[in-house]
Structure 1
Amino acid sequence: MLVGYAAADTEAPVIVSDQIEVTYGEKFDVDTLDITDNRDERSDIQVNADLASLNVQQLGDYKITVTATDSFNNETTKEVTVKVVDQVGPKIETLGSSEGYVVEVPVKGSNDLASYVKATDDVDGDVTPFMESDKALDTSKLGTQTITLKASDVSGNETERTIDFAVTDTEAPVISLTNGANVTVNYSSDFNLSNYVSVNDNYDGSIQPQVEGSVDTRKEDGTQTLTINATDSSGNKSTAQLNVNVKDTQAPTISLSKSEVTVNAGESLDLSKYLSSATDNKDGDLKSKVSIPSVSTSRAGTYTATYSVSDSEGNKATASLSVKVKAIQAARTSRKSSVAVGTTSRPNYYGTSVIGAAYSRLGCPYVWGAEGPNTFDCSGLVKWCYAKAGKSLPHSSSAMKSSGTVISVSSAQPGDILWRPGHVAIYVGGNQYIHAPQTGDVVKVSSGVGSFSCAIRP
């Protein structure tokens, strides 16, 4: 009797695959290998692969060794090429809080799409700079703009995405309190809001604000508060408060009938008659409260008379009147230089003023040709002192001799000019005189008038 038996399997599996592709970054799966066997199903074949040389994070071709064993332990080994390839296009994503296919864009914001959208590739990384669009983004006007974006990687994979960009204005107007939130305005003045508030919007530009409240500039008690509201065309609103205090900060106004008057020395002078008015924005007529100045006319010269008045808040006003006091000169028949040296009974009307001016210049350096106010030569000093007394003289010692009456030195009075060829001085009495001697010296008092040839009385 014959017994049946199964024939032994001695045929090894066949590794059909010579090359397979693996997507960049994905794990290698041995089940993707095509392997056949004369008896076993593919699922019954044990497959092992040596993946030591494979790097799925780097594009390229790699050689791996694959071993296939069937259920009868028949084994086949083969070297297979694994190609790591990039088959996935870049991903286009919106940035920030935008989601879906609508991106909010601030009006007049950046028109660079990269500010709102990013393109990233698994292999090439950030490919945003190479992203293309079918039109440019215009952020200068409100509204929705539909733009199709396309991003490509080095391997030629492309991704397209259509996105709506909603250009919107969400920024409220800016209220500027140009002088701060607390301001003081002058009593009874015209209150102009534009002097204290300006409103500007990022899209609408300058905006006229709406104001709650009003300001009474004749009311000084307490703070008057204004609420400033500003709304742009998109409905964005801003609010601010302006606190206004009314105070009398304006000084009175003094009006004079003249700016300059001239009187003779010794004459009486009533300065009140030149006051025309004094008025204040709050207190009204203040003429009776003006402080009237006084000017002494005993000495020739030019003086400033200052009128002043203050209102009830202490605001002070002043006004100035120029007063010129002229010396009285006696008449004389001749002022020629040919007058003989002798005596004269006419007094020197300028004497007191001239000597006072000369004493005020003691210590000033001698500088040839200088005529003050801080440096002098001899004739420059005499000229300056007489000018202070209201008398004009030439800047020359020889010319000065021809400008007045020539008298003897013994007849000289304080204020007369002492003269000798090339030098002049001012006689102060008691055999003393004030002069500017020479280079290196200063204006000083000297004694001994005997060195002078004569005296001159202008």
Structure 2
Amino acid sequence: TQPGETISFSAPKVVDYSKDHKKNPTDTSTDDNNVKTNVMFFYGEWDSSWDTLTATELDAKLTEKNAEKIAKDKDDETTYKFDVNAETSATALTVVVRTEDDARYSTGRTENHVSFEHRTIKIKNTNDSSAPALVGNAETVLGTLRDTLNPAEAYGQNAEVTIPSLDFSDGDNTGYLTTSLMVLDKNGNEVEVSGITYNYDGTKLTMQNGKFVTTVAGEYMVVITATDIGGNSVIYSVPMNVKDTKAPTIEIDELKTTIEVGEKYILPSPVVVDDGEVIPNHSKMQVVMVGDNPSYKLVQETLEFTPLKKGTYSFKYVASDGVNTTESAVYTITATDTTKPVIELSDIVEPTLEKDAEIELPSFSATDANGIRSTSLTVKDPDGDVVSPVEGTEYKFKFTRDGVYTVEYKAVDLADNETVETYTINVGDCTEPTITLIKENNPRQNGYKIGDTLAIKLSGITVKDNKYNNGEAYDVESAIRDGKIIITLTKPDGSKVTFPQDNSNYTFKFETAGSYTLTYQAKDDAGNTATKQYTFEVKAETDNKSVSEQAWGIVLIVVSLALLCGVVIYFVKTKDVSSRDDKAKEKAKENAKKLSDK
């Protein structure tokens, strides 16, 4: 140090081991913390003869040396700090730590244990006004350094550079020199320097083995500083050029990988980064299609991409920083065609016609971005049969029956997407018959159970049609035979029963519980159909328990535990009783109850 400087150091660590420390050195729980510590300093050096003095004698010596107490830093309790007298002519000072335990009180000793530790610091009292310098001709040394840093084949990016050894001197004060090495890249950012070693041989200070790694391209500045004890500094700056050997990188946001044929999609605008900097000039970037692609449109200026055919498209981005060119990964976009064709009619479809009318239906056109595979026009009569167009025509048809005709325009594109436009034309009689039923023919009214029989009464069915026999009702049996009236029962398992069964049987016995559906359907000559449908439940259990007892007989098993004689089991079976003999049934039940009570 030198006069006028401030010296600071961490508080010394003081440990007073317990008597059990040797038994378990790692256990600090019994260490004694009742230790008094004094930190002081005096001008001068520690005399080696003091090492054999007693604590009392050393205290006397420190008093003779006018040792001054050192206080803790008021801003940091873990640090001691003091100032060296600016007017001192001493060549050294000594920091002393004195510690004393409480053995006199805790163990009954006549004296406490006292320990001392010391450090001597040299004081360089100088009025150095001349700066340090490189050993040798500075211009020659710096020229050699410049040539080393800038060889014929310049360093590229990610290269490790070693600074040559440099020697410094400062006359008699060389031993107090400090030096530093700093490297700045083209952006003024400090580059990490590692591996520096220093060697002082009594006449010069050598700094050597400093290394750093180039990252960005451009001009670097190597800055070397030497400072002497008087605060005089010399700074040397040597430029270094690092060539661009690293291509820029390309980054893009999320890419939409599936689009529709014909959809205009703006490709993500790539971010081109070179040496950690974004290159804003997109004229140095373009999209390049890779491999065989279906037909497409691509606008480089806006990055608008339009697939014209179904399939997979591959592309990449290519960017340049003016020196090096880089390519992105290859990206793919799949163009799908899930859009159905669009059908347009030349006119509207006439909704109502008279029987035997012959008209020309509207023509139609179909459009699709991916192309049309086929188109068709189909007309179906009231029974669903296809009607052929009038011979020699394409859109002219004759409607020869009463009822509802269906006109179907259909288009299929190359991706098999299908569009169907359906229209109906009412020809002549389009009114469906009416069905009237008596309540006995409505199964919801009857509450059926297993074993019950459904009986359909034909006399309770009335079907009328506006075009049939001046509005008179159908002859039901004849209409059933002709298929104009159809009666079906759908069972819980989905199977169907069509009435009549065995030509004249209109009954059905329920053997399975579950949900049933009874359907009445009537159709007129024009194919108009009316339907009445009833869904009902058939229950599994009967409410009349005596009927169940009559069917199966009564078997009562009564088990009784005898207190002293073990177990006695009584079996009682009643005779099958007639449904008319209520007294016998009641007697049997009464006897069974008595046995149960026992």
TM band (smaller chain)? 0.3 to 0.5
Q: Using structure 1 for the length normalisation, give the TM-score.
A: 0.34
